[in-house]
A and B are shown apart, each in its own frame.
Chain A
Amino acid sequence: MVWNVLKEIFSWQSKMTLFMIFGGLFIILVVLLSSLFSPFLAPYSPVSLDFKPLEPPNLENLFGTDLLGRDVFSRVIYGGRVSILIATLSICMSLCISVPLAGLFTYIGGRLDTLMMLLMDSLWVFPIYLLALVMTLLFGTSVVTMSMTIGIAFIPSVYRMVRSLSLTIKEQTFIEAERSLGASTGYIVYKHILPYTLPTLIVITSLNLAQAIIIVSSLNFLGFGIPPPTPDWGTDLCIGNRVWLGGSWWCTFFPGLMIFLTVAGFNLFGEGLDALLEKRKKF
């Protein structure tokens, strides 16, 4: 038994899982730190027009210069700040609303639960993406409103996930025992039901963060997000799109690459963690 466990831990498959988790964490940390410390890392100002426009990548401007003569490398380093902030805020909001509600209503059950489920199902009919898109376009695009609307769009999926997990644990005997000992509903939900959903929630949150970053960048790309002078990957892609067809690939390629890497980092981390949890269940 012990031998089997050890073999499992040191097998190359487990190493792949660990590699996924730490690889993902590494990418996330690099992107987060570079966004946080961008004023120290960026060689030039992201907004001043210091250079000749549309210079291809060279030693002075590592990623070339854009249409207005700004350094693409500096803009890429600064570009994650707003997107990551909005994505994080929105996911936090969706968690704060849907997790307690889902835990509570599922535990109480009855008509309220059915009603909430009906509401969530009605929102679920639309893909997250479309919902966020339409609402952000309508409500305007400050950081706060964007995070709120994108957060709302994520509520149904998180709610459904927490609900399905809560349903399985709700009927267990130890919950019944707690209840017969006189534990209150709030106590049971807080002490037993929510902790049970935590591991899966972490996985889902990581994957949702990736999704949220894509949504924010798409909105910015469509030109409905953060207004242009602020450096942002999505906005830069949109601006780069104008010179894309002229052959200036670097204006579009590098911001897009950063979006891809960040999203991949969160996905890697989530997937790896998921695989680890599955393995843990086996033992």
Chain B
Amino acid sequence: MELKLYIMKRILLGIPMLFILLTVLFVILHIMPGDPVEALYGEKGSPEFLEEMRHRLGLDKPLLNQYFDYFSGLLSGNLGYSIHSGRPVIHEIIRTWPVTLQYCILTTLFSIFLGLFLGIISALKKEKIHDFIIRGISLVAFSLPAFWLGLLLQFVFCLRTGLFPLGGIQSLNLETPPSITGVILVDSLLTGNMVAFVDVLRHLVLPSIALAAQFVAVTCRVSRANIVETLGEDYITTARAKGASETVVLYRHALKNAILPVMTIWAWSFAGLLGGSIIIEKIFTLPGMGSLLFTGIMYRDYPLIQGILIFFAIITMVVSVILDVVYALLDPRIRYS
């Protein structure tokens, strides 16, 4: 019951947060110099034509009216139309979202498994040589700019050795499996099309690694700190005194508690991934949300930018609420009031 109340509270608190955020965004986007009509048609259009376009897009109305129009649209689930392509923003997002989702999930998997693995070893061998080596590696990984790493990987694995394709989401001659969920990796598995699955996976490995480096480092550091802290707790000493083997102490007692705070990092990193996508998608020419945001900014496409940012915000909030709930289910000590 408590938990249900807490979830309700979290969701209700999320609404004013979204509202503030959208208002800030609206103000920022509308007080800055330059407008979409100019960016789109520039010198090509006559002043009358530009004026008419502005009228048609509602940009000549007072700012307050635009604000109300925008919010009433939002409340009815309408994110507006992209000024650049003329299509509904929601369609554009649905079109590009699966690509980004696929490598974001791959990246998260990389960072969870590798990061946790390194974190555990580092914590168990605390202050020993293993620990320093792992911390050194994670420091290097944390300092590598994703774009440089991406370019290096591209150079070594695509140009020199040809192990992986240079870019794109799939080979040109590949037959795309029928769309069921929109996510090609899942669709190809569902239809049993292993060729397509492997092909798409090969295209996504390098972008995922380039993005993952930082998050592996963060996961490693946080999990190390938590495991070290947990191993110093009294109940661990009790478990050891009762004769439990080190393996049992680690996996049954320590890890369970130590892993919980790491999960909040994953929620945060998931949002970070979406942010990093804009550069990775440029390097590996992936047609995902990062590229969409890039075009949106190039053409000062307010509805598109706003739509994508709202989408980011909602996803991040949903993920963090879900994680909070999982947190509460796994850890009976947590009482939400």
Chain A interface (Cβ within 8 Å of chain B)? Answer: 13, 16, 118-119, 121-123, 125-130, 133-135, 137-140, 210, 214, 217-218, 221-222, 224, 237, 241, 244-245, 247, 249, 252-253, 256, 259-260, 263-264, 267-268, 271
Q: Does B274 contact A (CB under 8 A)?
A: yes
The answer for the CA separation of A28 and B28 in the assembled complex, in Å, is: 35
Contact status B145-A119, CB under 8 Å: no
With a cutoff of 8 Å between Cβ atoms, the chain B residues found around residue A245 in the complex are 159, 166
List residues of chain B with CB under 8 Å of any chain A CB: 13, 16-18, 20-21, 24, 28-29, 32-33, 127, 132, 135, 139-140, 142-148, 151-152, 154-155, 159, 166, 268, 271-272, 274-276, 278-279, 282-283, 293-294, 297, 300, 305, 309, 312-313, 316-317
The answer to whether residues A129 and B145 also contact, given A118-B16, A138-B297, A267-B139 and a CB cut-off of 8 A, is: no
- A267 engages B142 (CB within 8 Å): yes
| CB within 8 Å for A271 and B279 given contacts A122-B17, A256-B148 | no
Indicate if the CB atoms of A267 and B145 lie closer than 8 Å.
no
Listed residue (B147, B152, B271) with the most chain A CB atoms within 10 angstroms of its CB? B147
**A264 to B313, alpha carbons, bound, how many Å?**
31
Q: Indicate if the CB atoms of B275 and A252 lie closer than 8 Å.
A: no
A129 B143 Cβ-Cβ under 8 A: no
Chain A residue, CB-CB nearest to B282: A222
Q: Do the beta carbons of B145 and A259 come within 8 Å of each other?
A: yes
**B312 contacts A130, C-beta separation under 8 Å:** yes
Contact B279 A125 (CB under 8 A): no
- Docked Cα-Cα span, A165 to B172, in Å, equals 55
**Cβ B272 vs Cβ A127 within 8 A:** yes
CB neighbours (8 Å) of B272 from chain A are 127, 129
The one of A123, A133, A252, A253 in contact with B278, judged by C-beta atoms closer than 8 angstroms, is: A133
Check if B274 sits within 8 Å of A256, measured CB to CB: no
Complex CA–CA separation, A16 to B77 (angstroms): 56
With A126-B313, A135-B28 known as contacts, the answer to whether A210 contacts B143 (CB < 8 A) is: yes
A267 to B29: give the CA distance in the assembly, Å: 34
Closest to B13 in A: A118
- The answer on a CB contact under 8 Å between B143 and A263 is yes
Q: Are A221 and B297 in contact (CB under 8 A)?
A: no
Q: Which A residues are CB-close (under 8 A) to B313?
A: 125-126
The answer to whether A134 and B297 touch across the interface, beta carbons within 8 angstroms, is yes
Please, could you name 15 A-B residue pairs with CB atoms under 8 Å apart, sorted by A? Answer: A118-B16, A125-B313, A126-B271, A130-B312, A133-B275, A134-B293, A138-B300, A218-B145, A221-B147, A222-B279, A253-B152, A260-B143, A263-B143, A264-B139, A267-B142
